[in-house]
Structures are given as structure tokens and as C-alpha cells.
Amino acid sequence: MKQINRFFFKSIPSALLMSALLISCQSNSNNATQQSKYVLPDSLVKTLQLDVVNTAPLTNTVTLTGKVGFNEDKVAKIYPMVSGTIQHVKVMLGDYVRVGQVLGVIKSSEMAGFSNELVNAQTNLNVAKKNLDATRDMYNSGLASQKDLLAAQAGHEQALSELNRVKRVLHINGGNTNGDYIVRSPVSGFVVEKFVTDNMSIRADNATNLFTIADLNNVWVIANVYESNIGLVHLNDNVNVTTLAYPGKSFKGKVDKIMNVLDPVNKVMKVRIVLSNPGYLLKPEMFAKVALKDNDHHAAMCVSSGAVVFDQSQDYVLVYKSPSDIRIVKVNVLNTIGNKTFISGNIQPGEKVIASQAILIYEALNS
């Protein structure tokens, strides 16, 4: 859309006001006559670009700001299961790791205790097994009562149950029997947080995680919606996301979730957009601009944005019939999307409008 700046005189003495109005009316009449007689020069006709008035669904575009973040459904925070000293940290921030990959080793007295419990449980089970076998032989020979046999069976079952319990505890804590707790990645992804270094003492009751692993094949964009735009945002609306890092590239997605509460500090409603992230182009914490199109299915006339002239707080288009038949038509601009402007006014679909050098021709028609 193009704009013309005009200068207005301030009020004049009342004695001259009527004369000025008469001159203005006469000038307007002369301008109308000159406009009807204006013929577009051949030099302009050769380079003139015309646009045809079309109809298209009127689309409201809402621009939101937001930030790229992790897909929280595909993030694993790794906490220590035991206390001890971490050694051999094998990854750095930003590294890609696979499921089961070793991230570090914790030297832990707790793990040594689990190993000792395992040995004791295995020993007790062996003793209980031998006692059960001996008691069964004595029972078959009439040297032991049924009560003795039942007691031996109960002791064996208790020893077996204890061994299974110790094995499960050891398995939960990595299954290592040499006193080491092996920190492994539970998922494949990138190391996006790292809070440990070699020889650092850690506690199992510490609220700080050791690592955070995130799958960045999909990311979330959390966008802010101001109150005035809440009615224009709907679930599953299509969006285009752009970033400062890739100004010529847009990422397509949909509104996946609407948080139906306002942030008490910023007074905005949050919406979530899920985006696929091929090549890991989108990084967490990137600033994002979200363009959301709300199609209300109402058809409206549209022309090239270069065909609209703005003058004295009003919009106009130049309807072209021939080089000697050009008229100025006042229109109302409904919306502008890219190089397309939706309009309403005394104009019909199919009519031709001037889309190049419109200001120059508009000035000539009004001169």
C-alpha cells in the first residue's frame, strides 16, 4: 500500500473563507474535467502493469511472538540413584547420545553395600537349601517331624525371596557388582543440560539433575497471545513460524494446545505449536515469530497491494478501461497479507486496476 503526504493550510480569516471555498469548488470541477480528459502517455502504457480484481476467502493474520523449547514429552532428566563421587564423565553439552550410552560412573559405597547384600543373600540361600535337603531326608527316614520339614521349607523360601529382592534393588541401581553406579542415557537425543564434572561429590537426595537428554526431532514453540487476539486463535489452526536465524525460511505447524489461562505477570495466554525439526535447525531458546491465519470463509475482493493508493486517510484504486478512461475509486482496506490486499467498495470482480506507478498516475489525474 502506498501513501501520499499532503500539506494543509491552517485556518484563514473568515473574510476570505467563502472565497477560498468558491475557488476550491471551481478547482474540483476543473479537476474532474481534466481527469476525464487525461490520457495516459505511451511511455507509461508500455511499462504499465495491470491487476485484475479477484475474490478470495478473507483471511485474518495474527502475528505472535514466542520461543522454541524442548518437546517436554521427549525429555529425560537424569538424577543420581545413589550418593558418591562421579568419575569419567564421558559427554559434553550438545553431544548426541544413544539409548544405553554411558554418560558417567559414580563410585558409591551404597553400590558396594548392595553387592555385599547380594553375596550374603546367595550364601543364606545355599545354607537354607542344604538345610531343606537334610531335613527332607530325615523326614523320609522318620528322624524329623513334619513341623521340622515345614520350617526348613519356609526358611528356604524366605532366603530365595530375599535374594530376589536384593537382585531387583541391584538391577534398579544399574546391576554393577564392583561398587560402581553406571549412569546411562535412557533415551536417544542431545545433551541439553549438564550439571556435573569429574570428581564431583553428589547425593541421591539432591534436587539437581545430572544431565538432561532431549529428542530434538520435534520441538515446541510456546507463543504469547494477547487478550485482543484470543478470539482469533483456535485449536489446529495452521501457522508459519520464522526465526532470526533463518529469515528466508518458514516452518509449518499447527496449534497443538491452548492454555486457557492468562499469565498473571504478562497478561497473555500461551499456545503450543509442535514442529518437526529436520536437520535440527531449530534450537531451544530461539526467538520465534508465529503467523497464524484465521480463515472465516468470507469471500472478499482482493488486488495487488501495489494497486492501492493512500491519500488523506483514505484508500483508492485506479480502475483502468483504456489509456483515456481511468477513474479513481475509493475503497476500504479489509486486510493485507503479503502482496495481496483485501478491499471493499464500488468496484466489481474482473475489473482491471493499475498496479504500477499508481501514485504518479493518481497525481496526474488530480492535477
What does 186-197 look like in DSSP terms, one character per residue?
Answer: SS-EEEEEE---
The residue ranking higher by pLDDT, 271 or 293, is 271
Interval 203-222 mean pLDDT: 92
Q: Are 31 and 249 within 8 A, CB to CB? A: no
Angstrom distance (rounded) from CA 282 to CA 277: 6
Interval 188-212 mean pLDDT: 91
Indicate the SS3 state at residue 318.
strand
Is residue 361's pLDDT more than 50?
A: yes
- The answer on 201 and 84 residing in a single domain is yes
Indicate the SS3 state at residue 235.
coil
Pick from 157, 189, 214: which residue ends a domain?
214
- The answer on 269 and 228 residing in a single domain is yes
Angstrom distance (rounded) from CA 98 to CA 92: 14
Question: 61 has which bridge partners?
Answer: 293
Number of domains in the chain: 4
Range of the domain at 346: 2-8+37-59+298-366
pLDDT band at 38 (very low <50, low <70, confident <90, very high): confident
Q: Say which CATH number the domain at 119 has.
A: 1.10.287
What does the block give as the cell for 283? Answer: 534450537
Pick from 296, 324, 350: which residue ends a domain?
296
- The answer on 196 and 103 residing in a single domain is yes
pLDDT recorded at residue 297 = 62
Interval 78-92 mean pLDDT: 90
Q: Are 206 and 80 within 8 A, CB to CB? A: yes
Is residue 216's pLDDT more than 60?
A: yes
Residue 22 lies in a domain: no
Angstrom distance (rounded) from CA 42 to CA 359: 17
- The answer on 205 and 80 residing in a single domain is yes
Is residue 96's pLDDT more than 90?
A: yes
- Note the pLDDT tens digit of each residue in 219-278: 999 999 998 888 888 899 889 999 999 988 999 999 999 999 998 888 999 999 999 999
**Sheet with strand 211-214: strands edge to edge:** 75-78, 211-214, 189-194, 96-97
CA distance readout (Å), 276 to 69, 165, 215, 223, 272? 12, 44, 11, 16, 13
Q: Say which CATH number the domain at 292 has.
A: 2.40.30.170
Interval 4-28 mean pLDDT: 40
- The answer on 305 and 289 residing in a single domain is no
- The answer on 183 and 101 residing in a single domain is yes
Q: Tell me what percent of the residues of the chain surpass a pLDDT of 70.
A: 89
What does the block give as the cell for 281? Answer: 535447525
Is residue 204's pLDDT more than 60?
A: yes
pLDDT band at 339 (very low <50, low <70, confident <90, very high): confident
Q: Are 214 and 192 within 8 A, CB to CB? A: yes
Containing H/E element for 270? strand 268-276
Angstrom distance (rounded) from CA 289 to CA 49: 33
- Note the pLDDT tens digit of each residue in 63-79: 899 999 999 999 999 99
Least confident of 3-17, 62-76, 111-125, 314-328: 3-17
Interval 356-362 mean pLDDT: 92
